């Protein structure tokens, strides 16, 4: 059964983005965060493509995500650590835990777990052991010692504070590698790269800092099918709440896309689509499953035609007030995903 909405995914743009980030990472290896189903694109499809390009380090949030990637046999680290109920999966060896707490360290040691990663908190106060808990790590076989930047997408003095707090840990834990930078952190310069970088957003076309403008390419392109075209008389209204009123007669297209697909309500009266070179403004409120477009300028557009949604991430983020992360990770399972 073919879906009435589809997501076109650009393999070459994804690979080019990884290569760009790899190059920007200098001598450090460049990994890939593929948590949240590869930021909404499809974790397996993304990981396979990046592995083909040379990526060797993948990051997910939890063990269910790691399990989903297990069939393709890539090196995966599980950022959220290892709960008691994760131990059978963790000990089976298809992924490495990133130990975050003293309890997780004790659990991993008691079970005789092998190679692991460790997250150190250097000021974000989210996940990770604190710097004064370093003694607990004695005896662990640590592959990668990590920390995470709170403000890498801004020019904040916090970045340098965190970098210094992390850099002083070099040589103190027996870790084979150190890793600090997410996408935005890569642009902060070589001091932030250590041995391994962990980009997510920029791989998928996100622009967390101006340095990525013009270098990172858009990967996702949503398209929706036109379900009905109608003529709306001057003075008539369109959609829930009757918020949009035609000041002269208008041609309106109803397309198969809505906030349940991640096309948020905040695109109401602000978003746009295009048919060829004709811009089609969203009019009225975005519904759960439908959006209305003013197609007065597109005389030939009819039922069954496919319409490209304007979804350039920086612009769509500005239009909707949603972050680029939210826009990507909310793209629904109702989209048929086509990799080109
Ligand atoms: C999500 C995540 C990343 C990737 O961050 P982006 O901002 O998407 O590049 C890297 N490291 C950790 C610990 C993360 O949670």
CA 78 remoteness from chain centre: 16
Distance in Å, CA 212 to ligand 1 centroid: 16
Under 8 Å between Cβ of 219 and 41: yes
Q: What CATH number does the domain containing 23 carry?
A: 3.20.20.10
Same domain, 118 and 227: no
Whole-number mean pLDDT of the chain?
98
Closest residue by CA, ligand 1 atom 6: 200
Number of structural domains in the chain: 2
Same domain, 280 and 188: no
With vertex at residue 126, the alpha carbon angle to CA 158 and CA 69, rounded to the nearest 5 degrees, is: 115
With a pLDDT cut of 70, the percent of the chain lying above it is: 100
Same domain, 258 and 232: yes
Same domain, 275 and 126: no
Distance in Å, CA 80 to ligand 1 centroid: 12
286: which DSSP letter? Answer: -
- Domain annotation covers residue 338: no
Annotated catalytic residue 35: yes
| CA–CA separation, 248 and 242 (whole Å) | 16
Domain end among 177, 207, 237? 207
- Domain annotation covers residue 280: yes
Under 8 Å between Cβ of 167 and 131: no
The domain containing residue 199 runs over which residues?
11-207
Same domain, 268 and 183: no
Annotated catalytic residue 213: no
User: Residues in the chain with pLDDT < 50?
Assistant: none
User: Among the options 39, 109, 240, 263, which is catalytic?
Assistant: 240
The predicted structure's pLDDT at residue 1 = 81
- Domain annotation covers residue 330: no
The predicted structure's pLDDT at residue 273 = 98
């Amino acid at each position: 059964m073919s879906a009435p909405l589809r997501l076109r995914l650009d393999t070459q743009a994804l690979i080019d983005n990884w290569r760009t980030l790899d190059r920007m990472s200098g001598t450090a290896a460049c990994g890939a965060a593929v948590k949240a189903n590869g930021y909404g694109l499809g974790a397996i499809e993304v990981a396979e493509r990046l592995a083909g390009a040379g990526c060797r380090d993948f990051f997910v949030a939890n063990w269910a995500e790691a399990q989903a990637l297990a069939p393709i046999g890539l090196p995966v680290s599980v950022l959220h650590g290892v709960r008691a109920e994760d131990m059978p999966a963790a000990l089976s060896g298809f992924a490495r835990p990133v130990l975050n707490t003293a309890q997780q360290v004790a659990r991993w040691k008691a079970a005789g777990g092998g190679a692991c990663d460790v997250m150190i908190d250097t000021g974000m106060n989210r996940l990770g052991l604190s710097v004064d808990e370093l003694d607990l790590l004695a005896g662990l076989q640590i592959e990668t010692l990590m920390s995470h930047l709170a403000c890498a997408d801004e020019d904040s003095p916090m970045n340098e504070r965190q970098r210094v707090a992390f850099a002083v840990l070099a040589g103190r834990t027996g870790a084979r590698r150190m890793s600090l930078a997410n996408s935005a952190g890569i642009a902060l310069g070589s001091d932030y790269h250590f041995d391994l970088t962990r980009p997510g957003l920029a791989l998928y076309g996100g622009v967390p800092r101006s340095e990525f403008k013009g270098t990172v390419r858009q990967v996702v392109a949503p398209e929706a099918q036109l379900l009905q075209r109608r003529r709306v008389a001057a003075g008539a209204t369109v959609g829930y709440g009757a918020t949009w009123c035609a000041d002269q007669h208008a041609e309106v297209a109803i397309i198969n896309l809505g906030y349940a697909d991640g096309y948020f309500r905040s695109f109401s009266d602000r978003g746009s689509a295009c048919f060829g070179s004709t811009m089609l403004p969203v009019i009225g409120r975005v519904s759960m499953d439908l959006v209305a477009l003013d197609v007065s300028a597109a005389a030939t557009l009819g039922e069954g035609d496919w319409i490209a949604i304007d979804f350039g991430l920086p612009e769509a983020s500005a239009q909707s007030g949603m972050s680029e992360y939210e826009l990507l990770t909310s793209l629904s399972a109702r989209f048929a995903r086509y990799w080109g």
